[in-house]
Amino acid sequence: MIEQAEGRTDAGDRGTLRVDDRVITRIASTVATSVAGVVPRESMLTKVTGRGFPRISAHVDGGHIRIDADLAVTWPASVVAVAEQVRADIASKVGEYTGMTVDRVDVTIKSLVPASSDGPDELTGRVR
């Protein structure tokens, strides 16, 4: 057992920790793209608009977090199964990494991407 040196304050009494929303969105984005069936998607305008997939937003209120995730999923994956897995993984990992409570994760599938396609890319219009 480690004893605290005399005159030192407990770590919890020295200050506060704030985790920025951007950190939470980065964690959630990384977790989402690690789920089988979720694909990162970018268009030619993504660099200007920042509107590729996944799109994650987070709202922190005290020690509680709400997350919205808009995703692109490969076809023919089960969108229900992918959404459920993303929801569970984001809630688990964001809670684990931040020490906060994830109250809600809303997942919306915004795009279906063929697993392999010789046709035009849905976001760029280019043929692969």
Please give the order of strands across the beta sheet that includes 64-75.
Answer: 55-61, 64-75, 101-114
CATH code of 36's domain: 3.30.70.1350
Q: Classify residue 84: in a domain, yes or no.
A: yes
Higher pLDDT, 21 or 44: 21
Q: What pLDDT digit, counting tens, does each position of 48-95 carry? A: 555 678 999 999 998 899 999 999 999 888 999 999 999 999 999 999
Q: What is the dihedral of CA 24, 92, 85, 53, to 10 degrees?
A: 10
Whether the model clears a pTM of 0.85, i.e. scores above it, the answer is: no
| Number of compact structural domains in the chain | 1
Q: Phi, psi (5° rounding) for residue 88?
A: -65, -45
What range does the domain containing 76 cover?
A: 18-114
**Are the CB atoms for 28 and 69 separated by under 8 Å?**
yes
Tell me whether residue 8 is in a domain: no
